[in-house]
Amino acid sequence: MSSSKHHDHKRCVTSALENAAAICSSRGLRLTPLRRQILELVWHSHRPLGAYSLMEMLAEHSGRKLVAPPTVYRTLDFLVEHGLIHRVHTLNAFVGCSHPAGPHSDVLFICRECQTASEVHSPQVYKAIHICAAEQQFKVVQQMLEVVGICAGCAARKP
């Protein structure tokens, strides 16, 4: 995910939805209308979104009453479990995964000013974590490093 001036956001969202459909199909999973809709809402913003914000957005976009929290959380759990989105623990929120079919050795850079999140694939971080884990006789099951700071755009706007 990128906040670059050259970022084609419409293509970004379309690509994420196409990738999710292909991944679900290849794994024998169902990308139900609700799962697709929540995934699309997550991708419409490069800012991590909380479950309750997503519930409100669902109601706004569909014109129907709020979807029950357990339903939204089950949907988010499905999307996280299959690598289509990431849980941003620092913010108790969710953000789209930019490469759901690949291995995850990622770092999320989260701007504390504008709340954007950029996912960066980093084999060096993956290797360092696994070396440290091996030294501790620890088996890594999942990893996502979250780094909070200030993005280049926000830093440039500061006096």
Tens digit of each residue's pLDDT, the chain (159 residues): 444 455 567 888 899 899 999 999 999 999 999 999 999 999 988 789 999 999 999 888 777 677 888 999 999 999 999 989 999 998 999 999 887 876 666 789 999 999 888 888 888 888 999 999 999 999 988 778 899 999 999 999 977
> pTM for the full model?
0.83
By the 8 A CB rule, do 109 and 120 touch? Answer: yes
**Would you state the pLDDT for residue 126?**
86
Q: Which domains does the chain have, with CATH numbers?
A: 9-157 (1.10.10.10)
Positive/negative CA dihedral, 49, 95, 76, 144: negative
Pair of tokens at residue 15: 């690509």
Residue 106 is predicted with a pLDDT of 75
Element (H, E) at 149: strand 145-149
Upper half-sphere CA count for residue 67 (Cβ side, 13 Å) = 24
CA separation for the pair 7, 59 (Å, rounded)? 28
pLDDT tens-digit profile of 25-49?
A: 999 999 999 999 999 999 988 789 9
Rounded (to 5) percent helix, strand, coil in the chain: 45, 15, 40
CB 81 within 8 A of CB 39: no
Determine the Cα–Cα distance for residues 60 and 11; give it in Å rounded to an integer.
23
